[in-house]
Amino acid sequence: MQSALISCIIPAYSSERYLREALDSIIGQTYCPLEIIVADDGSTDSTASVIANYGHEIRYFFQSNAGTAAACNLALSVARGEFIAFLAHDDLCHQEKLERQMRCLESGPELAGCVTHVTNFRSPELRKEEIPVHDDRLFVPVPGYGPQTLLASRALFHTVGGFNTTLKHADSTEWFLHVRERG
């Protein structure tokens, strides 16, 4: 099962605060082989220094600020994997995420991709809000139709294309609609 290379793409913009945790959640995956690409969208903080601490484990690409869609497309253009996964610079993923998703894709060869559930969380250093996490419907796992839950074949991106850089919001929603249109 663990033979196909997965390229995990992290679009980043001024992400020094949370990037280390996101990278560690990818590095700690039970699935191998794995390529990690950070597409820096013009960060003005120490994002590059955080990545430099990882040495050659991370492939780092910088572009002038053009938005998340452009950063994802940059990373897609240099990705070497047969499969593509994404993670936002301030998100975490379960250590078995990619292993479980590959198992799903292998059990359904007609599938070009799959998504996982997503659960919102609050950073521990932020003050607790009035609504306890266990009572808040925003903190219940739900199917996630966003790039950070996706594992897809490279062929799907060749069919559907990348993300629309002219949209300031909802570029990933539009991408999922294109996937649906193409069956």
Give the number of C-alpha atoms closer than 13 A to the C-alpha of residue 176, restricted to the C-beta side.
Answer: 13
Torsion of CA 183, 10, 124, 115, to 10 degrees: 20
pLDDT score recorded for residue 134 = 58
pLDDT score at 13: 97
> What does the pLDDT read at residue 110?
92
Predicted pLDDT at 156: 96
Whole-prediction pTM: 0.89
Q: Please state which CATH number belongs to domain 6-181.
A: 3.90.550.10
List the one residue out of 52, 58, 79 whose CA is nearest residue 151: 79
The whole-angstrom separation of Cα 174 and Cα 170 is 6
- The whole-angstrom separation of Cα 6 and Cα 156 is 14
> For residue 141, which amino acid is it?
P
Per-residue confidence in pLDDT tens, the chain, 183 aa: 568 999 999 999 999 999 999 999 999 999 999 999 999 999 999 999 999 999 999 999 999 999 999 999 999 999 999 999 999 999 999 999 999 999 999 999 899 999 998 877 766 666 555 555 555 666 777 677 788 999 999 999 999 999 999 998 889 889 989 999 988
